[in-house]
Structure 1
């Protein structure tokens, strides 16, 4: 067995190796069939012949292309045996076209463009193909077969088969037509409907095809001219009269086909050796014993598709060698039981498509196959098969059979076809009489209930059952149904049409297969043995573990994907949040930039008054100023070194650098006190306040306790509105009305520009060059060191009769202006005459020149000391002077206090 299996594998491997070594063109498919190389280049639309080189091609198919000339380049291929050039565009064959094709045996030129018999050079071209056996010119428009001239006759000593069917041949016959074809055995002239047939004397023709040629008669001389003719096909000559005028004599004719010739009667007495007779599709109404009296050696008789109604019992009695009898498609209504009794070698009887109503007893000791399908049989005799001693196959399909008789018996029946009948139930003895039954067809009937397996207990060889296309009632819980299904599906499986075994009811299972309908109700353990249970449990365990592992892997993958998804989502949310924050910051920056002017205007309202600015001390820088950012490190170190030196050791340049570096700032403490002062709640009866000094830090703080006047924005006695207080530029008597901040060159904290001379320009000792300011009233003013004192200020309502004491020339012009008619009170508070009398005279006219120089020098020392030891103060009262810098000889002074107009940075 192993050797038998190994041999085909080795053969396939050898053929594959050989095909791999062959150089096959890309437009062809090459394959080895046993020892022959087949090249298939058909239906590729080729116009140029492919080259095979040295490949030993034996079978070459070039059909279905667009070749116009015969391929002479294949003349050197000694191995070429078969050449198919059908369905191309070849229109002629040159006399030397086949030179070199000495090995060619089959040449097919069917359905080309050859338009005349002369175009093929029939007398010359085929002489060079010395081994040519088969030639096909089918489908060409030849017009004739040879001609009166010898040069037009087909000449080939080796040709054995010639096919010139459907070539529009008009005349065939004559003495010299086939004289040059001494070995011609098969000649096909079929499908030449207008052909005139004359005798074709030939001692070599054995098979002649004249089908569909429109023949009306066939003379006795025609068959006599073919002494060794064995097969004659005259089918589909609808006007043919065979043997009605004169009998046809053929001593060697064995096969005769007269199908579809509309024959009403026939005479076969001149054909004694006839073995195959086909009379299908004629108009024969009756036959008798004399019809086949002289044809005793007939083996095949086909009388189907005729009009036979009755057949006598001894019609076929003389046909002792008859093997096949076909009586299908007739009108036979009664069947004689002795119809085939004398035919001892008859094996096949076809009675299908007749009108037999009942299957009666048939006597035969040789019939093995009976076909009685489509016969309208509704009843079967119980002894119908008792006289058929060796019957093996019985086809009763497509009849009206409702049930099988109980006593039906046959010891040799193996095949029983009851498909597409009307059987609705099976009895326990229906198939008991068929012990050799192996193939049973019950499909297409009306079976609803399962058949108990015990009904087939006597059919030990039953291995093929067809039960599909029945309206089965699927009672899955019925033990009989389960048992019947197990009987059909148990190995080896008996059911052959499992896919057609479907349920007809209940409606839930309608149209479903038995397996799909009852799989939930059936269990494997109920239909399996102990070993199968063990294996099933093992397999189920393995399957369960595999499913669990798969589910675990899927869960892990799902968790990873979800985690990645959450990470991506969080990243996207964070990114969106950052974008929103950026947008919000940008919008806030734009809003802040758009409200800068409003904030600047609001801050202007917080600026100190003029006299407060005069009394404020020089302040240190709490943060890095623009000077710290602009000057170099070396200049900054020199500035710090100059601050730590003694008074007399500083040079004039260092003093100027130090004076330039001193800027006036408002400290955080002062601004916070200002804010508290404005937001504090004042009671109506508390109108006194005092100024407190911190000895440790040197700062000032205004105490709102017992204050005589509230903040400027809370003063309602003067009937000042918030808009009038906030928009201070509308005050006509203010010296800061026309002051504008510098934009380009001045730092933000110094952007206060007064169109006239500023207070810094008037009061800062850095501008000592009095010659540059000849009209300044502050040119000779002494810087005064404030001492620790408490200032008690009183707020009085402004009125027209109040007369102020003469002020210093620096501010005299502002208060000597004509009083305004506006109802808005002045921001400067007026003092009573007694208080003005207590103030010292600070008129610069009373100061001597020597005293002025001393005061300037004293002011410089005071600024240097304050810049190094004291931080910026935020109070608007007079600062406390250092104890070691100023003497107390001047005594306690009463200072004129004004209400602050606005806050500004100098």
Structure 2
């Protein structure tokens, strides 16, 4: 538990040392747990470093060249340790320590203080109320405790005072004790004390008077220190400490006594019954018997080393029941009684080194765990030497003259056996067999030449440390035993601990070489020429390794393919995402362009061809009665049926002739539908805001609407565009053959009144040459009739909306005037609302007005025949005319059945671009 706690503190110290501190140059600051240590020692500094704002606790300024006490550190409240040793400070003022309220340790050793008066002892240390330790060692103070009052050291908190090597020649006086009421430790070592007075102190516990030339130590001196526990009188070579003294020593509080190196030839410790530790080394003691420690039954540590002891009595330590450590090294002991430590039941460590035992005999002890018998000139060992040491763990027999280990030597508890630097030449198979707990064996520095068979250590299952260096090994590299022994030592975990000292002494070519270098060539060759079994095993291992490598490679390949597939999927996803983003951007741009306001956005577009389109049309074989004849196949079929019915009704010609007259050569017809279909290209084309024909858009029914402004001519880029197919170009004749080039509109020649009253179903009524001939015919009512002003009040005109519903007329279908290549995908008549440029004017029924200008010579029958002929011609051409307004079959029937009551549908003039 203690080790764990120390490790924890060390870790905390390391962690704390990593905390950043702005340490002044050239000091070195480290954190130990929560304390900041600043080391500025031995830097030859003459000015004090500045620690302003740094919470330093331990400050070491020793070994520099400071001349004055550092009063600038008085404001550092955290400073508890200040070391100013080995400087040149000569004095301390009475108020120098003002502000050092937290200071606990102040070291001023080895400075230039030459008197107590220079320290201001009675005033200076009063301002350091927390001061516990004061070191004044190495200063020349002269005396202690027997001067004037102003020279007496005064401090109510001081517990440890160091005055060693201060040239003090006298000690004494009650004044010292009175001025230092809490003093516990006093060091007066290395002073020449010619006179020692009594130090009556009830608090003093440790007193060091070593090397002080003390000759006599009276009992009165020790009685004055009632609570003294440790007294060091070592190296006082003239000290008398025996029973012959006039004033015998008697104290019951002293626990530790050190009188080593005092040239004592006898010792009397009967007056110190409470002693627990006595050190008597380096004296001239010759005998230790039962009376030496008769009255010291509390002793735990006895050090009798470096004396001239030759004999140890049988019961010399019998009364020391608490003895734990006994040191008898560096004496002249030649023989040991086997029971001399038998009664010491708690003795743990026995040191008998540097004696002249010559033979290891049986020692009886139930508590000793460590025995050191090195350098004892032992030549032989009894086989039962360890049989009575029931708990022995460590035995050191190094540097002796042992040549052979006994055969039946055994120990059930021995763990460490040191036989280094002896004279062992051989190791038998049963040498270490009886040490089952052996873990550490030192055989280095002996005379072993032949390798030890590994089976000699079969009984030592815990053996993990072997030391075999510095032996004259004969390196027979071809010997199987040598190879096996080397393999045993170096097999992991390696048991050999001094491998670099394992060298060859023979043959001469290998002298001084390590085993590995000496036999490397031979062992490598043997490894190449190994046995068949080893080769087979190697092949098996290589095969397994190869299979493992293949499996690993396959797994890596699978992993690579999976990653590649994932990367490819990610790349495809990114490409698709980019393409979708581009399409989305393109759609957004198109929508923004379509949403751009035009000049005339609300105008409707007609499907009628422009003037230039009409001029490009080739001449037809027969005249077209209306635009519906060009584009409406159903309308053409209805017209053909109507003509067929009229032909049968009148009986003017046979049915075959009428049909032949209405048939057109399909190969020579102009494909006007295809030309009209080229209008679809105009819908998909993107036109700028400055096209000549204005803005173009399409309604729900697919009809095209142009703005009125600049709609007379098409866009400039359409003039150079080939809008006709190869057949159209081949069937094209000339502009002169077009019926629209010769036809002259007669709308301007017809008075408005006549336009309203005449029964015109379409514009062709005004432009068809056949109607020009009507006026020249004899029976035509228009040839002689002249308009008269109406008698009735002017009719009320009702203008309907431009949007009308086109109703399908239930008339018979005629063949179209041009060939329809799109008949397979014929569209049904749309019932949607279509914008038109025509206005429907509904008038009340206009009855025939009397014509006073007509000649009375014309008979009634002729007039009726002419009117009937005109009606037939109108009905014949009605299917090919472009119907605007709400013209239906009912209206046609009504107009044909009534001669006197006529309902004329007057149209707004067709756009001039048609002509």
TM interval, short-chain normalised? 0.5 to 0.7
Q: Could you say which residue in structure 2 is the equivalent of 1:616?
A: none
2:82 and 2:107 in contact (8 A); partners too: yes
Residue 154 (structure 1) aligns with: 153
1:333 aligned partner: 334
For residues 103 and 132 of structure 1, the distance between their equivalents in structure 2, rounded to whole angstroms, comes to 8
Which shows bigger deviation, 238-247 or 521-530?
A: 521-530
Q: Distance in 1 between the 2:540 and 2:214 partners?
A: 76
Q: Deviations over 1:360-398 (max 9, x none)?
A: 000111111001100000000000000111111110000
* Counterparts of 1:531 and 1:104, CA distance in 2: 74
- 1:7 CA drift (Å): 9.3
Provide, for residues 45-91 of structure 1, a one-character-per-residue CA deviation record: whole Å limited to 9, x for no partner.
10000001201001111000000000000000001111110000000
Q: 1:20-59 maps to which residues of 2 (within 5 A)?
A: 20=20, 22-59=21-58
Cα contact 1:476–1:521 (8 A) shared by 2: yes
Preserved contact between residue 443 and residue 467 of structure 1 (Cα < 8 Å): yes
Q: Report the counterpart of residue 103 of structure 2 in structure 1.
A: 104
- Quote the residue 2:356 is aligned against: 355
Cross-structure match for 1:70: 69
Give distance in 1, aligned partners of 2:146 and 2:100.
27
Q: Which residue does 1:221 correspond to in 2?
A: 220
Q: Deviations over 1:586-632 (max 9, x none)?
A: xxxxxxxxxxxxxxxxxxxxxxxxxxxxxxxxxxxxxxxxxxxxxxx
**Paired residue for 1:522?**
523
> Partner residue of 1:887?
none
Q: What do the CA deviations read for 1:396-420 (whole angstroms, capped 9, x no partner)?
A: 0000000100010100001100000
Structure 2: distance between partners of 1:469 and 1:412: 28
**SS of equivalent to 1:176:** helix
Question: 1:251 aligns to what?
Answer: 252
1:268 corresponds to: 269
Which residue number in structure 2 is paired with residue 493 of structure 1?
494
Is residue 141 of structure 1 aligned with residue 106 of structure 2?
Answer: no
Match of 1:446 in 2: 447
Taking a change above 3 Å as real, the CA distance of residues 114 and 406 of structure 1, as seen in their structure-2 partners, is same
Mapped to 1, the partners of 2:389 and 2:324 lie a distance apart of: 16
Task: Return the offset for 1:199.
Answer: 1.1
C-alpha distance in 2 between matches for 1:193 and 1:391? 48
Q: 1:126, CA displacement in angstroms?
A: 0.9
| Structure 1 residues 348 and 137: CA distance shift in structure 2, 3 A | same
Deviation per CA, 1:126-146, whole angstroms, max 9, x where unpaired?
A: 111111111110111111113
Q: 1:532 to 1:76 in 2, by over 3 A?
A: farther
Give the corresponding residue for 2:369: 368
Which SS does the other structure have where 2:16 is aligned?
helix
Deviation at 1:14, TM superposition (A): 5.1
> For residues 253 and 118 of structure 2, what CA distance do their matches in structure 1 show?
37
**For residues 784-821 of structure 1, what are the alpha-carbon distances to aligned partners after superposition, in whole Å with 9 as ceiling and x for unaligned?**
xxxxxxxxxxxxxxxxxxxxxxxxxxxxxxxxxxxxxx
Q: Deviations over 1:117-158 (max 9, x none)?
A: 211111111111111111110111111113332222111111
Instruction: Say which SS state the counterpart of residue 481 (structure 1) adopts.
Output: helix
Distance 1:455 1:50 in 2: 68
Whether the 8 Å contact between 1:108 and 1:136 is mirrored in structure 2 is: yes
Q: Is the 8 A contact 1:23 1:52 kept in 2?
A: no
8 Å Cα contact 1:154/1:178 also seen in 2: no
- Alpha-carbon distance in 2 for matches of 1:536, 1:314: 75
Q: Answer whether contact 1:247 1:269 (CA < 8 A) is retained.
A: no
Give the Å deviation of 1:9. 12
Query: Which string of whole-angstrom CA distances, capped at 9 and with x for unpartnered residues, describes residues 347-372 of structure 1?
Result: 11111111111100001111110011
Q: Classify the secondary structure of the residue corresponding to 1:75.
A: helix
Partner of 1:475: 476
Separation (CA, whole Å) in 2 of partners of 1:279 and 1:191: 19
1:210 aligns with 2:215: no
CA deviation string 1:4-48 (max 9, x = no partner): 9x9999958853552x2x221111111111111111111111000
- Structural RMSD (CA): 2.5
1:234 maps to what in 2?
233
Cross-structure match for 2:290: 289
CA pair 129-328 structure 1, distance change in 2 beyond 3 A: same
User: Counterparts of 2:381 and 2:145 in 1: how far apart (Å)?
Assistant: 63
Aligned pairs for 1:526-605 within 5 A: none
Take 2:13 and 2:157, find their aligned partners in 1: how far apart are those partners?
36
Superposed CA deviations along residues 251-299 of structure 1, whole A, max 9, x for unmatched, are 1111000100000111101111100000000001112111100000100
Q: CA 1:287–1:498 in 2, change beyond 3 Å: closer, same or farther? A: same
Report the equivalent of 2:122: 123
Looking at structure 1, the residues matched to 257 and 40 of structure 2 have their Cα atoms a distance apart, in angstroms, of 39
Mapped to 1, the partners of 2:539 and 2:86 lie a distance apart of 63
Gaps of 5+ in 2: 550-915
How far off its partner does 1:536 sit?
14
Match of 1:764 in 2: none
Change in Cα spacing, 1:140 to 1:533, as seen in structure 2 (3 Å) is farther
Task: Kindly state the Cα deviation for residue 520 of structure 1 after the two structures are TM-superposed.
Answer: 2.0
Give the deviation of 1:532 after TM superposition.
Answer: 12
Question: Equivalent residue for 1:307?
Answer: 308
**Equivalent residues of 2:146, 2:173 under 8 A apart:** no
| CA distance in 2: counterparts of 1:210 and 1:132, whole angstroms | 24
Distance in 1 (CA, whole Å) between partners of 2:167 and 2:12 is 48
Q: Matched residues in 2 for 1:272 and 1:57: separation?
A: 47
Aligned-pair CA distance for 1:247:
2.4
SS in 1 for 2:161: strand
* 1:163 to partner: Cα distance: 0.6
Judging changes above 3 Å, is the alpha-carbon distance between structure 1 residues 508 and 116 closer, same or farther for their aligned structure 2 residues?
Answer: same
Distance of 2:326 and 2:542 partners within structure 1 = 56
Distance 1:416 1:115, change over 3 A: same
Match of 1:883 in 2: none
- 8 Å CA contact retained: 1:169, 1:195: no
1:502 and 1:196 map into 2 onto residues whose CA distance is 64
| Residue 180 (structure 1) shift | 1.5
d(CA) in 1 for partners of 2:543 and 2:301? 58
TM-aligned CA distance change 1:456 to 1:135, over 3 Å:
same
SS of the residue corresponding to residue 38 of structure 2 reads strand
3-state SS in 2 of match to 1:177? helix
Change (3 A) 1:519 1:195: farther
Q: CA deviation at 1:194?
A: 4.0
Where does residue 200 of structure 1 map in the other structure? 199
Residue number in structure 2 paired with 1:669:
none
Shift of the alpha carbon at 1:234? 0.3
Q: Whole-Å Cα distance in 2 between the matches of residues 13 and 310 of structure 1?
A: 53
Q: Shift in Å at residue 519 of structure 1?
A: 2.0
Kept in 2, the 8 Å contact 1:499–1:513? The answer is yes
Q: CA deviation at 1:193?
A: 2.4
Using a 3 Å threshold, how does the CA distance of structure 1 residues 506 and 332 change in structure 2: closer, same or farther?
same
The answer for unaligned runs of 5 or more in structure 1 is: 543-906
User: Structure 1 pair 418/39, CA: closer, same or farther in 2 (3 Å)?
Assistant: same
After superposition, what is the alpha-carbon deviation per residue over 1:741-760, rounded to whole angstroms, capped at 9, x for unaligned? xxxxxxxxxxxxxxxxxxxx
Secondary structure (helix, strand or coil) at the match of 1:57 reads coil
What SS class does the counterpart of residue 484 from structure 2 fall into? Answer: helix
* 2-structure distance, mates of 1:104, 1:514: 63
Residues in 2 aligned to 1:75 and 1:276: alpha-carbon distance in whole angstroms: 43
Can you list the C-alpha shifts for 1:153-196, whole angstroms capped at 9, x where unaligned?
11111111111000000111111122211111110000002442
Aligned to 1:611: none
In 2 relative to 1, CA 44–535 (structure 1 residues): closer, same or farther, beyond 3 Å? Answer: farther
1:219-259 CA deviation, whole Å, 9 max, x = no partner?
A: 00111111111100000000000133032112111100010
How high is the TM-score relative to the length of structure 2? 0.57
Instruction: Give the SS at the match of 1:388.
Output: coil
